[in-house]
Structure 1
């Protein structure tokens, strides 16, 4: 007969959202310590004090393998969490426009699944291997990430609820955190673009490092945004049953 194990949801969430942060800090830290010159070198050979994520995980070892291993372990939990979150949202009973709401939420979840898929492509196809796929994956990841965050915030704040429903303190806190992380994320992204194009046009010292710094912020605020679901699920508890 099949056996099963029950995993508390909060453990799955901690694993899924701490692993990408560990990958980022370990790969960038190792690049600074052991591959500083190689990872900070640019086409115009000016001094920089930080490596880009692509340089850290594409040109250096063991950073490449750490990054890929972490995201290999992280991918299934992230897809599973996205699916479970969709089911939870579709089961809301206080939502107005019930004919339209499932379509909007499922469309938003598809965008999130595409975001995770583009992230996997970014992870396993470096700019040194197939540059155009890496670049297209980055563009796809950023577009899907920003659109998914924006749609979620708009639904949280503006989708009509039934007249008798009032948001709980926990719901108000979660949507406030999402809005905050979305704003910081999109600001970090546009600031990083400014430094990226300034570096390419003027080749000033340390400007590429400023792009790299805000690139880190984009990744970390993306993780922080998605991890807000931990606040919601911690309140509800629950376990996942896995058969083997």
Structure 2
């Protein structure tokens, strides 16, 4: 079998001519850029043009930062920009999730192969819940948004810790990838704990700026999640993302 099929999602002897070939490093950065730029746009635009509405809470105390839910779901054009970015990056993320399954099976010992399957499931559910919470916003569909957000957080945390465990058991280690994954996971879980503390404190004590600390912790959670997935840059370095007519593959350069 040719090298181009090594990490193929779908492969046919009659469909080996690639429609697109780009370095995976650029592909990974492109996927990160979509939600990152949309995220920054939503926060900055909300602060500049919807400050009072975006930072207001039931406590009626002063804050300087909007929550992510308010910034991406309560106003236009922020809502549409965020939804477009999430929709565009979702299909490549589904591809990469399946490609990672092949990668993990090649790097793990046979007794640990189940971890790769479970990681695929977590990754897919995380991506689906991100789409749901983006399109079913808190202002219009609070119950659905809340459940999707909780699912997203749980799946992303379980996925991160499982990936770190798997990479510690790899036959061949990519130390740089493993190091950054551990750092990003540690920062992510720490900010979730900090955000939960600030959220509860805000609800019980209604102190000024506490909700802004919660919002900032949320930002770090989202940014470290994006960065964690972008560590695929190290896992597939010196390889190309190849798009065929009926599938995709990661190939050696």
Fold shared, TM-score > 0.5 on shorter chain: yes
The answer to whether the 8 Å contact 1:12/1:77 transfers is no
User: Is residue 2:233 matched to residue 1:230?
Assistant: yes
CA RMSD of aligned residues (A): 1.7
The answer to whether the 8 Å contact 1:195/1:207 transfers is yes
Q: For structure 2, which runs of at least 5 residues remain unmatched after alignment? A: 1-13, 247-253
Structure 1 counterpart of 2:61: 46
Structure 2 counterpart of 1:144: 155
Runs of 4+ residues deviating >4 angstroms: 1-4
Structure 1 counterpart of 2:105: 90
Structure 2 counterpart of 1:14: 29
Matches of 1:179 and 1:220 in 2, distance apart? Answer: 15
What secondary structure is seen at the aligned counterpart in 1 of 2:236?
Answer: helix
Structure 2 counterpart of 1:185: 188
Deviation at 1:125, TM superposition (A): 0.3
How does 1:57-206 map onto structure 2 within 5 Å? Answer: 57-92=72-107, 95-96=108-109, 98=110, 100-157=111-168, 159=169, 161=171, 167=173, 171-206=174-209
| 1:186-240 CA-partner distances (Å, limit 9, x unpaired) | 00111000100000001111110100001000000011111111012123x1231
Q: For structure 1, which runs of at least 5 residues remain unmatched after alignment? A: none
Structure 1 counterpart of 2:40: 25
The answer to whether the 8 Å contact 1:58/1:64 transfers is yes
Structure 1 counterpart of 2:214: 211
Q: Give the structure-1-normalised TM-score.
A: 0.90
Number of equivalent positions = 231
What secondary structure is seen at the aligned counterpart in 2 of 1:7?
Answer: strand
Deviation at 1:126, TM superposition (A): 0.6
